[in-house]
Structure 1
């Protein structure tokens, strides 16, 4: 428990610092983070008896993130047309491998990019929602609301949780915990709305509800994936907490949904 608390404390410090130290640190940090999450995904795939083109997938995932993120600093959309060329390397590589299921390898390689890299691209884009100028308010608020949801769901679920949410995939999750997470995250959103005035309090609360619902869904999806290959944690990089995918499972599905909401209300 002590090790878990220490790891959690430093994890939060690093995450907050990544938002406060400027746009270049922010972009570089989440580029590396998405690459490590993709590495974990491919590692889990191999533990499940399947294969993926790990090195080629990580290179393509990092390049995908980099080319999209570069557009927030200078016009780089034309460079994105390099991606079909680099993505084709995933298919070409299988031609030279003697594997019984080459398209399964290709499918898991692309699934890793979609599952572990694309959500961080949407999260990164939140920092530039107010224009070309970097603004850490929205991504930092997203993290605070996500942590508030996790805390609320755990506290309420452990004390009052009786009705199972998806017992087959996550036995400890309950509807009571889900509701508790929504309430606590909404309170956090209301507080943040007093300091971060880019959005109205109603919009912040809406974001909190989206994060709670889709963050929980992302947690369940990652649990489903781990149970399908009989592993407890996605990795051991965070002592007492498991792997990076374990810590960011809530972000994986919530970030694209929240970005879509922000995009439509800002346009």
Structure 2
């Protein structure tokens, strides 16, 4: 428990620092984080029959993340902003080349299941990297760069996890999805929704970019789709007979274990806010 607490403390400090040091550090930090998560995903897959192409997958993922990072960057139509948009569009046109490289590399490998390798390589990019591009875009969904919305997203994600754990441990009886996650209960899920919604209202008092109704709506979406992401990652780990996705975070497991809720929640939350804020 002590190791878990120390690791969680320092990792939280690093993440908060990535928000406060400006948009360049923020973008670079989550590019690296998505790359490490993708590498972890590929490493787990290699324990089974498929052998994803790590180099080609990381290259494709980096191109996709960078392209959308430059496109979503908003400098209020200054020359820097227009230049960023051009760079983003250039990188976007290079994305198909990154995908083609996956196929080319497989042509020169000796493999009994080449399309399984290709499929897992591209699945990793879709499942891991693209959600991080949506999370990065949250910093610009209401206009110029602001740390409040992505930071609020993480606070709500952590609030839901903590609330679901505490309520589930106290009064949890009815299993939520026992086949993939035996410890999760409906009582814990409802507790996580209620606590994250309450935290969403509190956040609205300090982060005025969104109204309290939007913050509470985001909290509910995070609770639902964050839990779904957790279940999907549990299904993935059970399919390859492992408990944790890695050991990079002592006491916490791997990076995918820490960000499984983000993978499905970030695209949904960004889509909701894009229309709620801009329409």
Q: TM-score, normalised by structure 1?
A: 0.98
Select the residue among 130, 138, 157 that pairs with 1:118.
130
Q: CA-to-partner distance for each residue in 1:218-262, whole Å, 9 max, x for gaps? A: 000000000000011111000000000000000000000000000
Matched, 1:178 2:189: yes
Partner residue in 2 for 1:5 = 5
**Could you tell me how far apart the structure 2 residues matched to 1:5 and 1:93 are?**
43
CA contact (8 A) 1:156 1:180 kept: yes
Partner residue in 2 for 1:226 = 237
Partner residue in 2 for 1:203 = 214
**Could you tell me how far apart the structure 2 residues matched to 1:86 and 1:160 are?**
49
Counting only pairs closer than 5 Å after superposition, residues 27-106 of structure 1 correspond to structure 2 as: 27-71=27-71, 72=73, 73=81, 74-75=84-85, 76-106=88-118
Q: TM-score, normalised by structure 2?
A: 0.94
For structure 2, the residue ranges without an aligned partner over 5 or more in a row are: 74-80
Ranges of 4+ aligned residues in structure 1 off by more than 3 Å: none
CA contact (8 A) 2:50 2:117 kept: yes
CA contact (8 A) 1:48 1:230 kept: no
Partner residue in 2 for 1:154 = 165
CA contact (8 A) 2:69 2:136 kept: yes
**Could you tell me how far apart the structure 2 residues matched to 1:154 and 1:130 are?**
32
Partner residue in 2 for 1:145 = 156
**Could you tell me how far apart the structure 2 residues matched to 1:50 and 1:165 are?**
31
How many correspondences in the alignment? 266
Structure 1 counterpart SS, 2:227: helix
Partner residue in 1 for 2:21 = 21
Shift of 1:48: 2.4
Over aligned residues, Cα RMSD in angstroms? 0.9
